[in-house]
Chain A
Amino acid sequence: MSPIDLDSDVPVYEQIKQQVTFGIARGTYSAGEKLPSVRAFARKLLVNPNTILRVYRELEHDGLVRTWKGKGVFVSEDAPARCDGAGLEAVEKALLDSIDLARQAGLGARELDALYRRLRRERWRDAAKNNRPGDDA
């Protein structure tokens, strides 16, 4: 699980919600699997337990998890299929934001493409060095 970025524009509960959603899409959490208890999750991320409660409530509202009283929170059967496009969607949005920013900053298309390729190569190299492709849990 990636750490929390407190200074991000994205609220903490949304960051956690996104991490769980990606985790379901990637198979880190499979259908029917029990998610960490509120206490365990809050301790791991060092956030307020009510933040985790909110994440679980919203995931339940979205139909991605189900809460069984006294047993815990479980990934819904159809959640992996429904989370499938979530990663792509989020990446698309982030890329669009950076394209908008580049235009505002007056960066040309070629400069932006070159920048993207360089940064991507650097990140891939760093990830390989740390022996963790991408950003796994």
Chain B
Amino acid sequence: MKANDLTVSLEGIERWFGKEAVLRDVSLGVEPGSVTALLGRNGCGKSTLLRIVAGTLARHGGEARVLGRDPEQLGVAEREELVWITDESAISARKRVGAELDFTAALRGARFDRPRATELLARWEIPREKAFGELSRGLQARFRLACALASRPRLLLLDEPTLGLDLFARRDLLEVVVDVVAELEASVLISSHQLEDVERIADRIVFLHEGRVPAAGSPDELRDGFRQARVKTSDADTLNSVASGLLGVRRVTRDAEDPAHEHLVLFDDYSRDLEQELLEKSGAVLLSHHRPKLSEVYLEVLGAPLSEVVA
């Protein structure tokens, strides 16, 4: 898909804060009607990236297109189509829910679906006469979601939307994401710690680590790509040298149970052909396979090696 057809297209994004490079080289594309999730540890630059996409923070390098334009130069039309939900709420704690709803409706103009907003407020039992600050955290989150859905966005940015929410509020959030994609054919870019939620709703996962993207793909692509094979050979040196020459093999470790003969081969771009080539060239015999869970891929990409987790 060409950059112009993507809802969000980022190429080699850089951002510095003083002398610290928070984003060094981040590229990603969000297709229309799809959900892309940003996964990374605290402070890895997820919020910074979302702010750059939302157009509220300047980038220091790279190319960016959001809804067809440079995010630093979004016009009124694009701003109406973009909804950004972040915890650093712009909603005053003293403002009444009803007044905030009127304000959002005025801001969004003709796009705003008021009956939808009214219906969601009623379904989630959000009192209009209460001040925003009096609502529980879960209700505050739901109110933001109601406004977001009623705004009928083409692009929804969610920055850690599930932080501190209970299961029910998380479920409501996932339902809103489903609605945004299925009903409005909008795109969603979400940053989250909730691996399970991300695995359910993301078309594509983009890992962020030390300002770069160490891995990206659909949950299935990532789990298939990071397969682990247990192999048997008495010639560890050959296995290691063959493995180091193959693209897509990440690492070979000795199996703790039988270090003399059994080895764990961890791939980061697994294919049957690649595995076959490794076995033929090294003379090793395949014993078994492991298709990692997404949590294992997460730990591998962002820090702890997979073999320590599963072996």
Binding between chains A and B: yes
Which of A's residues lie within 8 Å of B, judged by CB?
A: 4, 6-7, 9, 11-13, 38-39, 42-43, 46-50, 104
| Residue of A4, A12, A38, A46 most packed against chain B (CB within 10 A) | A46
Q: Indicate whether A49 sits within 8 Å of B294 (C-beta atoms), given known contacts A6-B199, A11-B220.
A: no
Do residues B200 and A46 form an inter-chain contact, with CB atoms below 8 A?
yes
Do residues A39 and B220 form an inter-chain contact, with CB atoms below 8 A?
no
Residues of B within 8 A of A50 (CB): 33-35, 181, 203
Q: 17 pairs across A/B with beta carbons < 8 Å? A: A6-B199, A6-B294, A7-B293, A9-B291, A12-B199, A12-B219, A12-B220, A39-B178, A43-B179, A46-B201, A48-B181, A48-B201, A48-B202, A49-B181, A50-B35, A50-B181, A50-B203
CA distance A41 to B218 in the complex (A): 20
Residues of B within 8 A of A42 (CB): 178, 182
Which listed residue, A6, A7, A11, touches B200 by the CB 8 Å rule?
A6
Interface set, chain B 1-57, CB cutoff 8 A to A:
33-35
| Residue of B179, B183, B196, B201 most packed against chain A (CB within 10 A) | B201
Q: Indicate whether A47 sits within 8 Å of B201 (C-beta atoms), given known contacts A6-B196, A9-B291.
A: yes
Do residues B196 and A43 form an inter-chain contact, with CB atoms below 8 A?
no
Q: Indicate whether A39 sits within 8 Å of B200 (C-beta atoms), given known contacts A46-B175, A50-B33, A50-B34.
A: no
| Residue of B182, B288, B293 most packed against chain A (CB within 10 A) | B182
Interface of chain B, helix or strand or loop or mixed? helix
| Residue of A11, A38, A42, A47 most packed against chain B (CB within 10 A) | A42
B171 CB–A CB distance under 8 Å? yes
Residues of A within 8 A of B201 (CB): 46-48
Interface set, chain B 142-185, CB cutoff 8 A to A:
171, 174-175, 178-179, 181-183
Q: Taking CB as reference atom, which chain B residue is nearest A6? A: B199
CA distance A6 to B195 in the complex (A): 10
CA distance A104 to B288 in the complex (A): 10
A49 to chain B, nearest CB (A): 4
Q: Taking CB as reference atom, which chain B residue is nearest A10? A: B291
Q: Taking CB as reference atom, which chain B residue is nearest A13? A: B220
Q: Indicate whether A43 sits within 8 Å of B291 (C-beta atoms), given known contacts A48-B35, A48-B181, A49-B182.
A: no
Do residues A46 and B178 form an inter-chain contact, with CB atoms below 8 A?
yes
Residues of A within 8 A of B219 (CB): 12
A98 to chain B, nearest CB (A): 15
| Residue of A6, A42, A48 most packed against chain B (CB within 10 A) | A48
Residues of A within 8 A of B293 (CB): 6-7
A20 to chain B, nearest CB (A): 18
Q: Taking CB as reference atom, which chain A residue is nearest B195? A: A6
Do residues A46 and B294 form an inter-chain contact, with CB atoms below 8 A?
no
A15 to chain B, nearest CB (A): 11
Do residues B175 and A48 form an inter-chain contact, with CB atoms below 8 A?
no
Residues of A within 8 A of B171 (CB): 46
Interchain residue pairs A-B with the least CB separation, the first 9: A39-B182, A49-B182, A42-B178, A11-B220, A48-B201, A46-B174, A49-B181, A7-B293, A9-B291
Q: Taking CB as reference atom, which chain B residue is nearest A45? A: B200
